[in-house]
Amino acid sequence: MKYKRILLKLSGESFMGDDGYSIDYQKIHHFATEVKSAVDRKVQVGIVIGGGNIFRGVKGAGRGFDRRQGDYMGMLATVINSMALQTVLEELGVSAKVMSALKIEGICEKIFFKNAIAHLEAGQVVILSAGTGNPFFTTDSGAALHAVEIGAELLLKGTRVDGIYTADPEKDPTATKYDEITFDACYEKKLNIMDLTAFTLCKENNMPICVYNANIPGNLAKILDGEKVGTLVH
């Protein structure tokens, strides 16, 4: 197996139902099945999920909410998504632990990297919620931080596009895909893969990022088996 420990970042929108809000069971079941394929390969899996299907702090600020308060509301939205994924993983027979950057007694354990690593080594999927626990930081930043903290060998960013392109392939049909690209080239070409804080944290800590289409069944397993899927940033 190419990787022993990974961190998977999923957007909250990927859990969204066709009604445009809330949580869709079938979509979560898809991602839980993908994660199970990694666990079956004896890969240790950490997961960070956004909360945009429920509440996003930046959008809340645009509607009159205080940005700081809105960001905390968004963090709690990620906890809800994490609990939903935990539930479906357990239905599939996968042991999963939700941890939170905010202290929420009775619901989930506070994130401490040594405890997270111990859970991973015990064979549990660890879902790291509530971002960094601070306003003004995205869940991308939380994913980058936690990937470094737990000693992941790869940060996977699951999207609806099959990698990084020269331009937005949904808008520009002439856009071409990169199979691999360096951090410096991403800076130079101004490719928006993650927010700059998260991206810089990965670059400074030599954390490779794989951007891939997480909606296609089997893609995660292919990456773990060493197949070239998506785009690798290193």
Q: How many domains does the chain have?
A: 1
Contacts of 49 (CB under 8 A, 6+ apart): 9, 10, 11, 12, 15, 78, 81, 82, 85, 127, 129, 139
SS3 108: strand
How do beta strands 125-129 and 109-110 pair?
unpaired
Q: What is the pLDDT along the chain (234 residues), one digit of tens a residue?
A: 689 999 999 999 999 988 776 899 999 999 999 999 999 999 999 999 999 998 876 666 677 788 899 999 999 999 999 999 999 999 999 999 999 999 999 999 999 999 999 999 999 999 999 999 999 999 999 999 999 999 999 999 999 999 999 988 888 889 999 999 999 999 999 888 899 999 999 999 999 999 999 999 999 999 999 999 999 999
Provide the 8-state DSSP code for 14.
G
CB–CB of 165/178 below 8 Å? yes
Query: Could you give the CA distance from residue 25 to residue 47 in angstroms, rounded to a whole number?
Result: 18
What is the pLDDT, as a whole number, of residue 29? Answer: 98
Q: What is the residue range of 99's domain?
A: 5-233
Looking at residue 55, what is its pLDDT? Answer: 84
CATH number at 49 reads: 3.40.1160.10
Specify the pLDDT at position 142.
97
Scan for tokens 């069944």, then name that residue: 217
pLDDT for res 171: 87
Please report the pLDDT score of residue 60 as a whole number: 65
Q: Write down the pLDDT at residue 41.
A: 97
d(CA 216, CA 224): 15
